[in-house]
């Protein structure tokens, strides 16, 4: 089979016993690929790291009142604080791809979790906006390597036919982390205080970093198994620079870079931070109930990702599923803007419609890779993943600024309160951004799930 190594030598079993992996010195042909339990162990450690980082990503939404009170923040400052995560997450994407090629996913998972843990501990101890912002930056930088490294590890340790399944499970586990950062975090923060809870999460991150250091291996060949992937030549910085310049010559690169800023960015902005204040202050919903609504939205987003990805593969079309998802986002946020006081069942349907629609952004990853010659596919993925975070990076502080512009002076317990006009204007910004994204999807060229031939030199 293509990609199978002809390697027959096996590692020293004594050395492997010290690792508690128990790989025999000789194996029959049928067992030359890594056993599923071993692959699942490595994936489980990396997926847990991704899940914990996802938990930390969305904590400002539930803790918005505590953060505004303890750090004396207005809405714009709170938005800036939350967005520091996205600044450094986005900046890490292309370097993460290069580092995975050069060093493998293990070192990135180990270092990333350690940095994430230090960031969580610093945030728990922060006494000012400045120190909290540095902590959020560390969390974003540390977690920024997790997704790409998790996919790299999955591709190395699981048969190609299982990669799609493992990618879906990985995203689902990340979503579980975001769900745990809703009502469960709210309950724990009320019982123990938010600082103690985030401090405990920081210690957990450091423990996962140590576990990854002791257990994870980059490729099956490191333990004497046959690998699923052919050997790759690591890119030089010159190769990366030339690739970054080349991908922008293809029209889909720019269009698909902008598109997720609305389709995904608006969803991230709402669920990461501004959804909770909208539901609590505008819709007068108890904080516990509002946190469950955000959790349900996150689950719906995960479901939408699986749904649209499957539909796209079955139809062998990228534009239609992405476009339908974007139109669902447009309809859902249109209700928030046009009818913010709509009956609760109508509002819930609108939020779920937008959440499922937002999951259509997963189609963009395959679409972006298929829109350039295959030798540029990896670079195109890094560029696209950066665009996914760009929307939230800008929208989080922008919506805070809009809310402050419409603030009428109301406060409660040192926390600013915003009226319906303020939230209507803020959600209107998201609606306009989604409309631009839908237009970009419309203008992008369909690839019909076929890679662009490498011989194509013109955009």
pLDDT digits (tens, 9 = 90+) for 1-57: 334 433 444 444 434 434 445 545 455 544 588 888 999 999 999 999 999 999 999
The percent of residues in the chain predicted with pLDDT above 70, rounded, is: 89
Residue 3 lies in a domain: no
User: Which among 188, 212, 229 is the end of a domain?
Assistant: 229
**One domain, residues 272 and 158:** no
* 395 within a domain of the structure (yes/no): yes
Give yes or no for residue 295 having a pLDDT over 60.
Answer: yes
When the pLDDT of each residue in the chain is averaged and rounded to a whole number, the result is: 86
Q: How far is CA 224 from CA 66, 155, 163, 199, in A?
A: 52, 17, 21, 39
Q: Which residue has the higher pLDDT, 60 or 451?
A: 60
Angle between helices 251-263 and 420-443 (to 10 degrees): 150
Last residue of a domain, which of 197, 229, 261? Answer: 229
Burial class of residue 329 (count of CB atoms within 10 Å of its CB; 0-12, 13-18, 19+) = buried
Supply the DSSP symbol for 405: H
Give the mean pLDDT of 331-344.
Answer: 93
pLDDT for 314 equals 84
Residue position matching structure tokens 């990396």: 46
Tell me, yes or no, whether 47 and 154 share the same domain: yes
pLDDT at 102 over 70: yes
Q: Residue 187 belongs to what domain range?
A: 24-229
Count of domains observed in the chain? 2
- The single-letter DSSP state of residue 42 is H
Q: Hey, CA dihedral for 282, 177, 118, 268, is it positive or negative?
A: negative
Residues 196, 277 share a domain: no
CATH of the domain at 250: 1.20.1250.20
Cα 111 to Cα 53, 141, 144, 209: the distances in Å are 13, 10, 11, 7
* Whether residues 288 and 373 fall in one domain: yes
- The stretch 214-226 carries a mean pLDDT of 88
Among the candidates 214, 229, 244, a domain finishes at: 229
pLDDT at 242: 79
Other residues' Cβ atoms within 10 Å of the Cβ of residue 349: 15
Pair (88, 199) in one structural domain: yes
- Looking at the fold, whether 142 and 51 belong to one and the same domain comes out as yes
- Does 161 score more than 50 pLDDT? yes
* Structure confidence at residue 4 (pLDDT): 40
Shared domain for 270 and 215, answered yes or no, is: no
Token output for 199? 């401090």
The pLDDT score that the predictor gives to residue 9 is: 44
Q: What is the pLDDT, as a whole number, of residue 250?
A: 92
Check residue 458 and give its pLDDT.
42
Report the predicted TM-score, pTM, of the whole model to 2 decimal places: 0.79
* Strand residue runs (E) in 56-119: none
Confidence of residue 454 (pLDDT cuts 50, 70, 90): low
């Amino acid at each position: 089979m293509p990609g199978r190594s002809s390697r027959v030598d096996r590692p020293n079993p004594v050395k492997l016993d010290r690792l508690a992996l128990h790989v025999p010195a000789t194996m029959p042909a049928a067992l030359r690929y890594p056993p599923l339990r071993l692959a699942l162990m490595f994936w489980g450690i990396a997926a847990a790291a991704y899940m914990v980082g996802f938990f930390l990503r969305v904590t400002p939404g539930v803790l918005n009142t505590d953060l505004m009170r303890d750090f004396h923040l207005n809405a714009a400052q709170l938005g800036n604080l939350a967005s520091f995560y996205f600044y450094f997450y986005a900046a890490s994407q292309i370097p993460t791809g290069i580092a995975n090629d050069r060093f493998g996913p293990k070192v990135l998972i180990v270092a990333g979790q350690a940095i994430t843990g230090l960031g969580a501990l610093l945030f728990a101890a922060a006494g000012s906006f400045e120190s909290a912002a540095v902590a959020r930056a560390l969390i974003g930088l540390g977690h920024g390597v997790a997704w790409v490294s998790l996919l790299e590890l999955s591709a190395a340790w699981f048969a190609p036919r299982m990669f799609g399944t493992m990618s879906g499970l990985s995203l689902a586990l990340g979503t579980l982390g975001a769900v745990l950062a809703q009502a469960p975090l709210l309950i724990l923060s009320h019982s123990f205080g938010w600082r103690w809870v985030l401090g405990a999460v920081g210690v957990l991150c450091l423990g996962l970093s140590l576990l990854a250091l002791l257990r994870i291996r980059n490729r099956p060949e490191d333990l004497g198994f046959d690998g699923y992937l052919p050997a790759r030549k690591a890119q030089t910085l010159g190769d990366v620079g030339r690739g970054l310049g080349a991908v922008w010559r293809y029209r889909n690169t720019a269009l698909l870079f902008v598109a997720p800023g609305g389709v995904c960015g608006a969803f991230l902005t709402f669920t990461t931070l501004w959804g909770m204040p909208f539901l609590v202050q505008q819709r007068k919903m108890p904080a516990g109930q509002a946190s469950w609504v955000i959790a349900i939205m996150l689950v719906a987003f995960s479901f939408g990702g699986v749904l649209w990805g499957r539909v796209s593969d079955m139809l062998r079309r990228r534009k239609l599923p992405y476009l339908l998802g974007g139109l669902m986002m447009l309809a859902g946020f249109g209700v928030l803007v046009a009818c913010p006081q709509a009956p609760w069942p109508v509002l819930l349907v609108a939020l779920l419609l937008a959440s499922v629609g937002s999951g259509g952004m997963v189609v963009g990853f395959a679409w972006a890779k298929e829109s350039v010659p295959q030798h540029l596919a990896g670079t195109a993925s890094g560029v696209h993943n950066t665009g996914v975070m760009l929307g939230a990076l800008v929208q989080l502080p922008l919506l805070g600024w809009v809310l402050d512009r419409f603030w009428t002076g109301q406060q409660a317990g040192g926390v600013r309160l915003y009226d319906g006009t303020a939230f209507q204007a803020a959600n209107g910004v998201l609606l306009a951004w989604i409309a631009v994204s839908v237009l970009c999807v419309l203008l992008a060229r369909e690839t019909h799930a076929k890679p662009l031939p490498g011989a194509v030199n013109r955009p």
